Amino acid sequence: MRRSVLLAVWLGLVLSLLKGDFCYGDPCGRNSAKCISLNSNYTCVCQYGFYYSEKNCYRGKVFPASIAVNVPYSDNLKIVNSSEHEELRKNISDFFLEAFKPLIGYMETVIVEIGPQIERRSVSVEVTVTNLFKEDSPENKTTVESAVNSTINNVQSYFSDYKEVSSCDIYPCDNKTTVCEGDMFPECNCKPGLEKTIWDDDSCSVCSKSCSAEAHKRCVNEEEGPTCKCMINFKWENDNCVACPVGYSGEECSHNTLLILIIVGTVLGAIILILVIAVSIVSVRAKQKQNPEKKSLIKPGHSDINASEDRPSMFPRVQTTSGHSNPGYQPNNPYETRATNRDHFPERDYDDLYEVSREPKGFRTQSRY
């Protein structure tokens, strides 16, 4: 039974080697290390900030940097199971192992990215790496950089241009949903309105509780992930959603159609008001010109004394309450009164050109001559 189990394991290992899978059987252990199958071997890589040792991952000091390798660039260098990649990996590992011999606590160098570097018409290779030391190592950026540059001077034909880079430049934060913050051990902090779930570490996949209708916010799922946006007719201002100013509307208050309508309405209203005032002034002036009170009772040079009733006379027509039903009634004209009222009123000392004539509808004046 025991022999059969060992035989099965051996056969599986042989088959995996024939297929090029050197990670068969978990050679890196079953902890947090990841096995990467190369062209003729394998390597074990831990997550950022940890180095691999004895089938386990340990926290260490991280010194991220980039270095130029003076070899022609090829896309095969990015293929981990190609011979070009394996050769480049070995050369880089040997270089830093030699450079950090005088230093204390060096553990390993991990390749993060391989890309082209264009310089003086030639295309060389730029490799981004993380150099890992034990957590209690006394080394710092200055000693590490000095050791590398000293070694470069001895092998100028192959390596050059060693530069420190920021940890956030190589840390795998999701730039769409997080903001990388920190130095040696950065963190991926969620953007406003987002938060992480228990499955998230380098990204934020859901909107936070603050992204609610009460705060005039809404969660929108877009291609780059969930995004907390302001509701329609609101815009971001100091991490809050505030109402659009007068005349603006739409998403992020980007539309000014209402403002245009307000301006046009105001102008049209002013024009209409001016027209109304002008018409009122013209109408008042026209009425004043046609007012009969402004005319004389008798036009100058009027020669027709026997004018019709509709034309104005010297004295207005007097309407009595009795009419023709009281034919014996005499008008109470103080100037025509004699005898008893003579003591109270002066006698008439002028000649009337007109006299009052009684008619069924009242009295009117008519010429005596």
- What does the pLDDT look like over 34-65, one tens digit per residue? 999 999 999 999 999 999 998 899 999 999 99
Residue 133 has pLDDT above 50, yes or no: yes
**Which residue pairs, CB below 8 angstroms and at least 24 apart, start in 176-183?**
176/203, 176/224, 176/225, 177/203, 177/204, 177/205, 177/224, 177/225, 177/226, 178/202, 178/203, 178/204
* Chain position carrying tokens 């000693």: 143
Q: Which domains does the chain have, with CATH numbers?
A: 60-170 (3.30.70.960), 178-253 (no CATH)
263, 265, 266, 269: CA torsion to nearest 10: 160
Contact of 32 with 47, CB cutoff 8 Å: yes
At residue 158, φ and ψ (nearest 5 deg) are: -120, -45
Q: Tell me if 132 sits within 8 A of 62, measured CB to CB.
A: yes
Rounded to an integer, the average pLDDT of 185-213 is 86
Q: What is the pLDDT of residue 214?
A: 86
What whole-number percentage of the chain has pLDDT above 70?
A: 70
Residue-level pLDDT at 215: 87
Residue 17: partners with Cβ closer than 8 Å, 6 or more residues away = 24
Question: Does the pLDDT at position 267 exceed 50?
Answer: yes
Q: Where are the alpha helices (DSSP H) in the chain?
A: 2-19, 83-99, 141-152, 167-170, 257-289
pLDDT of residue 82: 93
Please, are residues 352 and 345 in contact by the beta-carbon 8 Å criterion? no
b/e 195-228 (16+ beta carbons within 10 angstroms → b) = bbeeebebbbbbbbeebeeebbbbeeeeeebbbb
pLDDT at residue number 240: 86
- SS3 category, 94: helix
Instruction: Please write the tens of the pLDDT for every residue from 326-349.
Output: 555 555 555 555 555 445 555 555
Residue 276 and residue 43: Cα distance in Å, rounded? 90
The pLDDT, as a whole number, for residue 282 is: 84
Q: Which long-range contacts (CB under 8 A, 24 or more apart) does 247-251 make?
A: none
**Predicted structure pTM score:** 0.57
pLDDT band at 302 (very low <50, low <70, confident <90, very high): very low
How far, in whole angstroms, is CA 48 from its chain's centroid?
A: 36
Q: Would you tell me how many other CB atoms lie within 10 Å of the CB of residue 269?
A: 10
pLDDT bucket at 12, cuts 50 / 70 / 90: very low
Mean pLDDT confidence for 191-196: 84
